[in-house]
Amino acid sequence: MTDQILPGSHFDAKLTALQNLLLEMAGRSEEMVRLAVNGVVHRDPARAGEVRAAEDRIDQLELQIDERVMELLALQRPMAGDLRFVFVVLKACRDIERIGDHAVNIAGAGERAAVHPPLPEILEIAEIGDLVRRMLGRALGALVNRDADTARAVIAEDKVVDALRYSTFDIIMSYMSHQARYIPAGMNMILAVQNLERIGDLATNIAEEVVFLVEGHSIKHNRSAGHDEHGP
């Protein structure tokens, strides 16, 4: 198939530029998640400000992508693999913007937790953070390389995120049930983990879109990777 974006034509240059905007957006949202998780793990409320500041650029990039997609659809009328690509970029852009929102939520939870007595170190939070960031990066890499196998591997990883979420909840709940002073920070830790789990879901969505891009059929709601239903 000629799915790869070929260099040369004016249209190809526009598709490449669109892809680059999406990659910049994904890179910035991934950095937001890293900062937010750092803020939670290291009880550093200053990170929250950095995360919120980064959100503006994400919003700008989303608007730019919207405009370029509209222009491409109206003026270039992409077809076949090109049409699927533009469609996938638009959907992935929404997912990445929401990842940014979740990063802000995590940063806020870290900010609030930092003013309360700390829980003992919970390594799993950093682990989930690393995992969902890696999922996002691999999903975007799969998009660039039109790699359905890697996309399917990302989808499978969401089960690991789900399992980690529940085990982390158990740990936090056990601290909270033993000592009431852990409850305020613990509640915010639970919120942070819940948001990380949603980021995993959104990275999974992007990976599913990549499979659609490469293979031309949707695997959403009927996937063989055995992925659980997304949480609220």
Check residue 11 for interaction with another protein (CB under 8 A). yes
Q: How far is the CB of 87 from another protein (least distance, A)?
A: 9
Q: Which residues contact 129 (CB under 8 A, 6 or more apart)?
A: 33, 34, 37, 41, 196
**Residue 68 · residue 18 · CB < 8 Å:** yes
Q: Which residues contact 27 (CB under 8 A, 6 or more apart)?
A: none
Closest CB to another protein among residues 63, 83: 83
Say which DSSP state 224 is in: T
Q: How far is the CB of 98 from another protein (least distance, A)?
A: 25
Count interface residues toward another protein (CB under 8 A). 16
Q: What is the largest CA-CA distance in the chain?
A: 65
Check residue 216 for interaction with another protein (CB under 8 A). yes
- The angle at the Cα of 65, spanning 95 to 19, to the nearest 5 degrees, equals 80
Q: How far is the CB of 208 from another protein (least distance, A)?
A: 16
Q: How far is the CB of 78 from another protein (least distance, A)?
A: 7
Closest CB to another protein among residues 3, 31: 3
Check residue 46 for interaction with another protein (CB under 8 A). no
**Residue 78 · residue 18 · CB < 8 Å:** no
Check residue 220 for interaction with another protein (CB under 8 A). no
User: Which range, of 6-14, 18-26, 45-53, 119-127, touches another protein by CB under 8 A?
Assistant: 6-14
Say which DSSP state 154 is in: H
Closest CB to another protein among residues 10, 178: 10
C-alpha distance from residue 198 to each of 4, 69, 195, 229 (Å): 30, 26, 5, 11
Q: How far is the CB of 15 from another protein (least distance, A)?
A: 10
Round to whole Å and give the CA distance between 106 and 33: 8
Round to whole Å and give the CA distance between 61 and 225: 32
Site for another protein in 173-202 (CB under 8 A): none
- A 10 A CB-CB count for 131 gives 20
Check residue 217 for interaction with another protein (CB under 8 A). yes
Check residue 6 for interaction with another protein (CB under 8 A). yes
Check residue 1 for interaction with another protein (CB under 8 A). yes
Site for another protein in 69-98 (CB under 8 A): 77-84
Interface ranges with another protein (CB under 8 A) = 1-3, 6, 9, 11, 77-84, 216-217
